[in-house]
Amino acid sequence: MSLKGRSAIIGFGETTFAKGRQSGGRSHLKEQCTAARLAIQDAGIAKDEIDGLVAIGPLDHGSSWSMDLAEYLQLRPTFLDTPYFGGAAGNAGILHAAAAIQAGLCRTVLLVGGSVSQPGPPAPYGVEDSVSFERDFDTPFGPMGDNSAYALIKRRYQHEFGAGEEGFAQVVVNARRHAGRFDNALLRAPVTVDDVLHSRLICDPLRMFEIVMPCTGAVALVLTSAERARDARQKPVYLLGGGQAIDRGMWTPAYGRDPSLTTSPIRRSASAAFAMAGVTIADIDCLQLYDCYTITVIIALEDVGCCAKGEGAALVAGTDLTVGGDLPVNTDGGQLGRGQPYGACHFMPVIETARQLMGRAGPLQVAGARFGLAHGNGGAMANQCTLILGNEIP
């Protein structure tokens, strides 16, 4: 049985994002609990109505995080999940919650993620922490973790399609334009294409402004049955379709089964989501795409159907992707404009979609928005989960 229209988002909340060095006195639990409280209040329900919990824990905590959070929040859920698929986990968690609601395992699910960013250099990439194929085939050549994997994908894209740097830089320019008008964004200063192209080279061909900045923050949302949503305080935003696809291990982009690094599993996850929803890309009023790097936006635009393969960079360079433009993308600034709080970033695309479809986006509101696409990307474009949402059921 399809999940279409059987559940809806009725509230959301988020803490104030902060840079790591400005996060004194904040903790992982406090961040997630604050976001949870704000989402429950926004939904206008009692905490006791929550009978499902999906929680994405901080990187330095284990798989029991959702159990610990449930105890801290004094919840007694009948459905519990701690998904971990990298950035696709938020959308996947929503699919899991929607399926649980439809199966009668629960009625109202709280979904939450977030963490405190610790100042200082990242943990070293250790051989003992990697799975065997990374240890045996990647680590000996000196990978730098996430950056090297996405640099490889971007370099291959440029090789195959002859794409210059301007389209990638424009992704950042657009993100900053939106972030400058979004109160809870950390990177609000505008930049130009030239600024991006002259930012420091981090991992060739990726420059500093093309890479997300880790930060502190948490977000939460409430998903409930369509029946319960009819009486909600906020305008319901229905889950209309969803799809998930995986091609390879988390950080091994060269070993996928797709014909090239430049074709991602998004093509399959988006196709499944559109088929379930009964709409097409032409019906979508705004797209919220996981943007840990500029290359993810370029490839996602292609693979959800906005343009042909190899035309994504040109599309970004030649199309108005801002609010009020031809194709509004990442209307809150995305991670490249707001920062990346681990765990929260997994839910940011779907929360911004809900914000738009509830008509609560203020100066960044897409006029008349009815349908939105929210996409999550896990690992090095390895695991993808696409959701289609709407404030009506077609």
Q: DSSP string of 219-265?
A: EEEEEEEHHHHTT-SSPPEEEEEEEEEE-S-TT-GGG-SSSSTTS-T
pLDDT per residue over 92-128, tens digit each?
Answer: 999 999 999 999 999 999 999 999 997 665 544 444 4
Is residue 229 packed enough to be buried (19+ CB in 10 Å), middle (13-18) or exposed (0-12)? buried
Kindly report the pTM of this predicted structure.
0.94
pLDDT of residue 335: 98
Return mean pLDDT, the chain. Answer: 92
Phi, psi of 33 (to 5 degrees): -65, -40
Does residue 54 contact residue 84 with C-beta atoms inside 8 Å? Answer: no
Average pLDDT over residues 286-305: 98
Helix ranges restricted to H, the chain: 28-43, 65-73, 89-102, 132-137, 146-161, 166-179, 193-197, 226-229, 266-277, 294-303, 312-318, 334-338, 348-357
Cα dihedral 341, 347, 350, 352 sign: negative
In the structure encoding, which two tokens stand for residue 291, read together?
């943007």
Confidence of residue 21 (pLDDT cuts 50, 70, 90): confident
Average pLDDT over residues 143-152: 83
How many Cβ atoms are within 10 Å of 392's Cβ, its own excluded? 12
What is the SS3 assignment for 274? helix
Which residues are bridge partners to 219 per DSSP? 14, 113
Torsion, Cα 282 285 290 293, to 10 degrees, reads: 80
pLDDT of residue 20: 86
- 7-119+212-390 has which fold? Peroxisomal Thiolase; Chain A, domain 1 (3.40.47)
Distance from chain centroid for Cα 268: 17
Which residues are bridge partners to 218 per DSSP? 114
Does residue 380 contact residue 150 with C-beta atoms inside 8 Å? Answer: yes
pLDDT per residue over 154-212, tens digit each?
Answer: 999 999 999 999 999 999 999 999 999 999 999 999 999 999 999 999 999 999 999 99
Distance from chain centroid for Cα 11: 17
Give the chain's length: 394
Q: Report the chain's C-alpha Rg in angstroms.
A: 19
What is the SS3 assignment for 206? strand
Residue predicted with more confidence, 68 or 134: 68
pLDDT at 376 over 70: yes
Which residues are bridge partners to 224 per DSSP? 8, 108
Distance, in Å, from the CA atom of 290 to the CA atom of 345, rounded to the nearest integer, reads 8
